[in-house]
Amino acid sequence: MLKIGLIGFGFMGKMHFDNYERLMKEGESIQLISICDLQIEELKNSSAEGNIATERDEYDITSYKLYDDIDTMLDNEELDMVDIAIPTYLHAEIACKVLARGYHVLCEKPVAGNSVDGRKMVEAAKQADRKLMIGQCLRFWPAYEYLKEAVADKRFGEVVSGSFFRGSAMPKGWYHDGSLSGGCLLDMHIHDTDIIQWVLGKPLKVSTIAKKVMPGSGYDNVSTNYIYADGKAINAQSDWRLEGDFGFEMTYRVNLEKANIVFKDNIVKVNPNDSEGYVVELSEDSGYYREIKYFIHSILEDTEITVCSPESAVETLEIIEAEMRSADQLGETVELRQGSVV
């Protein structure tokens, strides 16, 4: 039985909590034991806020062991795994500490505020001989998993172009300080950068234009061209200043030699060049559920984390850093080191 402690009970903490409760009900060999949040008293009976709806409006967590201090939780509970769902600027410090104390760690994306810290986390996991996975959840999202498989097995030939989009209103609180959140580029756009790297491999260069709309929050919208040796036109845009009734949107359109694949309104449609289009039947489970299930099984069965290694999450962060440098120079192309540097 895998005993789990959850750190952070904000938007993502609640999202993870929903999935642990579901996995426990489904009979997985896990037990969520404890929850730690600085504001645990206020959050005991709280509601959820975020881009994607969590399972419920109100949360009663009083049947779990509750803490407002991480060390006190670790000193008092016998845990095997810790789930870190706290703000980005705390990931590296807390993950390294928790790994060094001997726990397996699932940590929310982005891996850290910068790639130097991300590499420290990879090293801490190696030193402690514990598993570390970063919640780059789109790698477990059925619509993106389908794209990965279709591109890898070349059923529609080679990719010739692709466009990815993600947008919403700006999240609240610490996100407004770009030095803590990394702005839209590090926080939101990283999802698409991660998918582009995962599906198409590391680009040779990036060229990014991005704009700061709100003082202090970092770049608030971004458009990046990912440059590959064969010249395929790959672009990703994100905007977290889509206020009013916009809501949340994530989409892609990828064109291949024999078909195009479009993900929109939560539906993946394939449009073959020479026959009628069709909707792809996909699992209705979210990437969050599937990512957590994958990680707990990798611990329970002691299998290697291949879908989302922490090294590859750091490589995605390095591409984001190159995009930031490009944006700082109004779209100058920035070359990426090839091969793994982690």
Return residues touching ligand NAD (CB under 6 A): 7-13, 36-39, 50, 70, 85-88, 90, 108-109, 135, 137, 173-174, 187
In the complex, the smallest distance separating the C-beta of residue 52 from ligand NAD, rounded to whole angstroms, is 7
Mention every residue, 6+ apart, whose C-beta is less than 8 A from residue 254: 147, 151, 159, 161, 162, 163, 260, 261
Residue with smaller CB distance to ligand NAD, 12 or 82: 12
Strand pairing partners for 7? Answer: 36, 84
Cα(315)–Cα(194) distance, rounded to whole angstroms? 9
For residue 278 the two structure tokens come to 């069709």
Cα(318)–Cα(95) distance, rounded to whole angstroms? 19
In the complex, the smallest distance separating the C-beta of residue 109 from ligand NAD, rounded to whole angstroms, is 5
- One-letter amino acid of 262: V
Residue with smaller CB distance to ligand NAD, 138 or 327: 138
In the complex, the smallest distance separating the C-beta of residue 85 from ligand NAD, rounded to whole angstroms, is 5
Residue with smaller CB distance to ligand NAD, 112 or 159: 112
Cα(5)–Cα(23) distance, rounded to whole angstroms? 15
Cα(195)–Cα(136) distance, rounded to whole angstroms? 9
- Cis previous bond, 110, omega within 30: yes
Mention every residue, 6+ apart, whose C-beta is less than 8 A from residue 29: 1, 2, 300
In the complex, the smallest distance separating the C-beta of residue 70 from ligand NAD, rounded to whole angstroms, is 5
**How far is residue 322 CA from its own chain's centroid?**
18
SS3 86: coil
When CB distances to ligand NAD are compared, the closest residue is 10
In the complex, the smallest distance separating the C-beta of residue 92 from ligand NAD, rounded to whole angstroms, is 11
In the complex, the smallest distance separating the C-beta of residue 38 from ligand NAD, rounded to whole angstroms, is 4
In the complex, the smallest distance separating the C-beta of residue 182 from ligand NAD, rounded to whole angstroms, is 8
Residue with smaller CB distance to ligand NAD, 36 or 124: 36
Residue with smaller CB distance to ligand NAD, 40 or 160: 40
Residue with smaller CB distance to ligand NAD, 84 or 270: 84
Residue with smaller CB distance to ligand NAD, 80 or 192: 192
- One-letter amino acid of 39: Q
